[in-house]
Amino acid sequence: MYVLSVILTIFVATDVIASTQTPKATWYRYYDKSGVANISSSVTPAHIRNGYEALDSNMQVINRNRAYSIEKDIGQSKQREQQSRQRASDLKLKKAYGSSQTAVQKREDSLKNINKQIALQKQQLQQIQKDRILFKRQEMEFFRKGKPVPNDLKDRLNYNMQNLTNTKKNIYSLQSNYRNTQAQYDTIIKRLKAFE
C-alpha cells in the first residue's frame, strides 16, 4: 500500500511539474492570403512573412508572432539609428561633463567670458565714436574756413568708419554667440539631468 501511494505521489508531482512548465512549441501555423492554414514543424520564410502561431503538441496556441514587414522595419531602422546616435551623444556628454552641476558651472564661465568680450567691444565702440566726433569737427572746421579737407583726415575718417562697422559686427556676433552658447548648454544640462 505504501509503495502504491509513493508511486501515485510521483505521478501527481510529475503531472504538476509538467503543467507548470512552459509548453514547448512543436508545430508552427500560418494562414496564407486565401485563409488556408499551413502547418509545419519548423519556421519557414512564409511563416515570417505572414505571421505565425507557435502550437504545442495538443495544437494549442502558445505564442503569436506578427507578420514581418520590410517597410515597417526600414522605418524602424531609421528610428533605431537615430536613437543609437542619441545614446552615443548622451554618453559623450556624460563622459565630458559628468553631471549637470559641472555643465552649469561651465555654462556660467563661458557666458561670463563672452560678456567680458562684449563689454570690451562696447568700450572700444565708444572710443571709436568719440574719435569720429573729433574727426568730423576737424572736417567741419576746414569746410567753415573754405579750405580743402586734407587727405590724412579723409583717410582717418574712412578708417574710423570701417572700425565702427567692424566693431558693431563683432558686438552683434558676440551677442549671437552668447545666445547660442546659452541654448546649447541648456540642452546639455537638460539631457544630463535625465540621467541623474
pLDDT digit string (tens) for 92-101? Answer: 888 888 889 9
Domain boundaries along the sequence of the chain: 2-68, 69-97, 99-195
- What pLDDT is stored for residue 15 in this prediction? 54
Closest CA to 30 of 70, 64, 72, 71: 64
Q: What pLDDT sits at residue 94?
A: 87
- Inform me whether the pLDDT recorded for 107 exceeds 90: yes
- The residue behind cell 552615443 is 88
**17 pLDDT more than 70:** no
Output the pLDDT for position 8. 46
Q: What is d(CA 90, CA 101) in angstroms, rounded to the nearest whole number?
A: 16
Contact 62, 25 (CB under 8 A): yes
The proportion of the chain whose per-residue pLDDT surpasses 70, expressed as a percent, equals 89
Read off the pTM.
0.57
- 56 φ/ψ angles, rounded to the nearest 5 degrees: -85, -175
CB-CB neighbours of 74 under 10 Å: 9
Phi-psi region of 111 (alpha: psi -120 to 50; beta: other; left: phi over 0): alpha
